[in-house]
Structure 1
Amino acid sequence: MNYRHAFHAGNFADLVKHAALLQLLARLTREPGPLSVIDTHAGRGLYDLAGPEAVKSGEAQAGIVRLMAAKDAPPEFAPLTAAVRKLNGAGLPRRYPGSPWLIAEALRPGDSYLACELRPDEHAALQERMRGKRGVRTLLADGYEAAVAQTPASGRALVLIDPPFERADDYARTVETLAGVRRRNRQAMALVWLPLKDLETFDGFLRDLEDAAPGPLRVAETRMRPLTDPLKMNGCALVLLDAPGDMAGVLEAICGWTAGTLGSGGGAQVYGL
């Protein structure tokens, strides 16, 4: 695979995904009992926004830099902006936290986090970033397979699936993974991130997921532009399986601001299946 998230760290899709993730974790960690989190495509955990990849793409400038300077961002972004400020202090953000960093910081004593990464170089960086963090393990492995094998058979669990969608089978493997996770643990919840290119592909994924992994689904679409070119990433979507009921309003605020402020002629919608 050629994908390198360093080119895309802090872009609009990261803002949607990470703001929603932190809001979801805040709710789950308020509930009693340990929580197990599994991340199938963890990446390196922390990204240099002044590095050559980020500078070349300019996506962070159009994403996290604009969010940090915004005066009208809804409070649902506050945990994410606080995490970025904690890493960077005042001024423009130089470092951006990936999901491993954010999850590890949110864990309580007794919670656990397994961060899976398939690329040896990315895993080595991830392992170094996570060194010494309580309750955290990293695994150099196929995250789809690891999620099914490592999800606890009982108790509360959250599986985060965020593949690069470079491979033709990423959609199918995501569905298979969630079906396997739910067979193993009926209490397991999931947060899936997907690109929005064309509605036929996305709708097909939702139909397959409904059939394979029964349970209440909450879908949040962030369309940055009209879906007229299926070769472009025109936006992104989050699909939550068995999420807390009050996440709908949270997702509406996050996706609506991102599409309306950072997008061009798009829009946002949140709905249940």
Structure 2
Amino acid sequence: MNYRHHFHAGNFADLVKHAGLLALLTEMTGKGGPLTVIDTHAGAGLYDLGGEMARKSGEAEAGIGRLMAADDAPAALAPLVRAVRRANPGGALRFYPGSPWLTAAALRQGDKLIACELRPEDAQGLKRSLPPAQGLLETVVGDGFATAPARTPAKGACLVLIDPPFERGDDYAQSRRALAGVLARNPAAVVMVWLPLKDLETFDAFLRGIEAGDPPPILVAEARLRPLSDPMKMNGCALVTANPPASLQPVLAEACQWTVSHLGQPGGEARVWRI
């Protein structure tokens, strides 16, 4: 695959995804007992927004750059703003923290992060970039789709983030299988799947596939930056979360609404609902 998140780090989709992830981490680390977090496509951990790939795409400037400069950022995005400031102690916006970086910073003693990454060079960068953590950090160079169900604890609190690049035709099917495998292993696990929104039928087919498997409660959040009229473009993004805590819905509703209203185009729409 040619996908490198360095081109896309800090874009509008990361704002939505990481608002949801941080809300889940706050909720789940606020309870007793250890937490296991599995990140299926961890990436490099910390992204240099001054690098060639980030500057070439301009997506960070149109995403996290706009958020950090905003004077009306909602409460749902405040934890992300604080995390980005921690990742940039010099003050200027130079680095964007990916999902494993955000997770590692939230770990408590007894918690565990299993970060999966196929690219050996990104896995090495991940190990170097993660902040000091109280919990246990483990980097797995391998297939996150297979690792997540295999490493999900049968009991106890577990959060799984499924976030593939969706460049392969089977990433949707693999995401559904990984979701089902995690829940078969631990029916109480919280599983968040990130998806791009290109055309409505592909997204609807993904949801139909999940519903056919008699799933637990599911929360769906969409941030459509423009109408889904051109399937060659990423017109928005969605989060599909199994076993969501009640606190997640208002956070995603607020984060999606701000993202669409500030970063989107006419005809954009924010939607959050339950299956």
Do Structure 1 and Structure 2 share a fold, with TM-score over 0.5? yes
Q: CA deviation at 1:213?
A: 5.7
Question: Which residue does 1:174 correspond to in 2?
Answer: 175
Moved over 3 A (4+): 89-92, 130-134
- The percent of aligned pairs where both chains have the same amino acid is 59
Aligned-partner residue type, residue 183 of structure 2: R
Question: Which residue does 1:230 correspond to in 2?
Answer: 231
Question: Which residue does 1:267 correspond to in 2?
Answer: 269
Q: CA deviation at 1:272?
A: 0.4
Which deviations, in whole Å up to 9, do the C-alpha atoms of 1:13-56 show, x marking residues without a partner? 00110111101110111111111100000001000000000000
Q: Distance in 2 between matches of 1:169 and 1:117?
A: 18
Cα RMSD (Å): 1.2
Instruction: Say whether the 8 Å CA contact 1:12–1:62 is kept in structure 2.
Output: yes
Which deviations, in whole Å up to 9, do the C-alpha atoms of 1:189-225 show, x marking residues without a partner? 1011000001100000011012236100000000001
Aligned-partner residue type, residue 4 of structure 1: R
Instruction: Say whether the 8 Å CA contact 2:104–2:131 is kept in structure 1.
Output: no
Question: Which residue does 2:22 correspond to in 1?
Answer: 22
Q: Distance in 1 between matches of 2:154 and 2:89?
A: 41
Instruction: Say whether the 8 Å CA contact 1:65–1:92 is kept in structure 2.
Output: no
TM-score (norm 1): 0.97
Question: Which residue does 2:37 correspond to in 1?
Answer: 37
Which deviations, in whole Å up to 9, do the C-alpha atoms of 1:227-250 show, x marking residues without a partner? 110110000000110010121111
- Unaligned runs of 5+ residues in structure 1 are none
Aligned-partner residue type, residue 29 of structure 1: T
Aligned-partner residue type, residue 41 of structure 1: H
Instruction: Say whether the 8 Å CA contact 1:182–1:213 is kept in structure 2.
Output: no
Q: Secondary structure of the residue that 2:212 maps to in structure 1?
A: helix
- Unaligned runs of 5+ residues in structure 2 are none
Instruction: Say whether the 8 Å CA contact 1:8–1:59 is kept in structure 2.
Output: yes
| Cα distance change, pair 53–138 in 1 and its aligned pair in 2 (3 A) | same
Q: Distance in 2 between matches of 1:196 and 1:269?
A: 13
Equivalent pairs counted in the alignment come to 273
The equivalences for 1:70-109 within 5 A come to 70-89=70-89, 91-109=91-109
Q: Distance in 1 between matches of 2:114 and 2:165?
A: 19
Aligned-partner residue type, residue 272 of structure 1: R
TM-score (norm 2): 0.97
The equivalences for 1:156-175 within 5 A come to 156-175=157-176
Instruction: Say whether the 8 Å CA contact 1:193–1:236 is kept in structure 2.
Output: yes
The equivalences for 1:41-190 within 5 A come to 41-89=41-89, 91-130=91-130, 133=133, 134-190=135-191
Q: Secondary structure of the residue that 2:175 maps to in structure 1?
A: helix
Instruction: Say whether the 8 Å CA contact 1:175–1:212 is kept in structure 2.
Output: no
Instruction: Say whether the 8 Å CA contact 1:175–1:213 is kept in structure 2.
Output: no
Question: Which residue does 1:242 correspond to in 2?
Answer: 243
